[in-house]
A = this chain, B = another copy of it.
Amino acid sequence: MKNKSERLEAIRTLLTAEQVGSQEELLQKLVALGFDLTQATLSRDLKLLKVMKAPGNDGRYVYVMPNSVPSAPDAGEAFSINGLVSLEFSGNLAVAKTRPGFANGIASIIDEHLPQSIIGTIAGDDTILMVLKEGVTQIEVKNTLLKIIPAF
C-alpha cells in the first residue's frame, strides 16, 4: 500500500514519544491519526521495526524502539515535516502530543488555520491544549486538523 512507510514512521515517532503498553493501544493512537489497519498488520509492522516489548519500572509493559541505532540503511531523510505525534479528545478539549519542542510551532499553525472551530490553544514543550468552540464536534476538528497538518 502507498502509506505503509508513513505508517511505520508514525509508529516510530509514537513509540519514541509515548509509553505504549499494548498493540491494541498503539492501534487506537494510529487510528486516531487517521491510519486504517488492524492488529494483525501492526504485529507485522512491529516485527519489521524490531520493536521490543519490555517490562517497565512501574510494573507495566512498554514497547520500545531498538534503542537509537538507525540500523544503518536509514540514512537521513526521516524527521522531515511533522512533529505531531498523537491527538486525543476529552469533552470540549483536544490534546495533541508533538515531538519535544514542536508544540509551539504547531500550535501557531493551528491558531492560524482553525479559528472557526478552536477558540484557543496553549502549548508547552511537547503538548498542545486546544479548546473547541461550542457546538463544534470532535470529528469535525479532527478532520480539519488532518487536512491542515498532512504528512501523518
Interface residues of A (CB under 8 A from B): 18-19, 21, 46-48, 50-55, 57-59, 61, 64, 66, 74, 77, 88-93, 95-97, 104, 107, 111-113, 115, 119-125, 127, 129, 131-134
The docked-state distance in angstroms from the alpha carbon of A120 to that of B74 is 31
**14 A-B pairs (CB sep. < 8 Å):** A47-B59, A57-B77, A58-B77, A89-B134, A90-B92, A90-B132, A93-B93, A93-B131, A97-B120, A111-B127, A121-B127, A122-B123, A122-B124, A123-B124
For chain A, what secondary structure do more than half of its interface residues adopt (helix, strand, loop), or is it mixed? mixed
**Shortest Cβ distance from residue A105 to the other chain B in the assembled complex, whole angstroms:** 12
B contact residues around A88 at 8 Å (CB): 119-120, 133
Contacts of A121 in B (CB 8 A): 124, 127
Alpha-carbon gap, A63 to B123, bound state (A): 26
Which single residue of chain B is at the shortest CB-CB distance from A71?
Answer: B57
How far in angstroms is the closest Cβ of chain B from A144?
11
Residues of B within 8 A of A122 (CB): 122-124, 127, 129
Residue among A19, A54, A89 with the most chain B CB within 10 A? A54
Contacts of A91 in B (CB 8 A): 91-92, 134
- In the assembled complex, which residues on chain B have CB atoms less than 8 Å from the CB atom of A124? 104, 107, 121-123
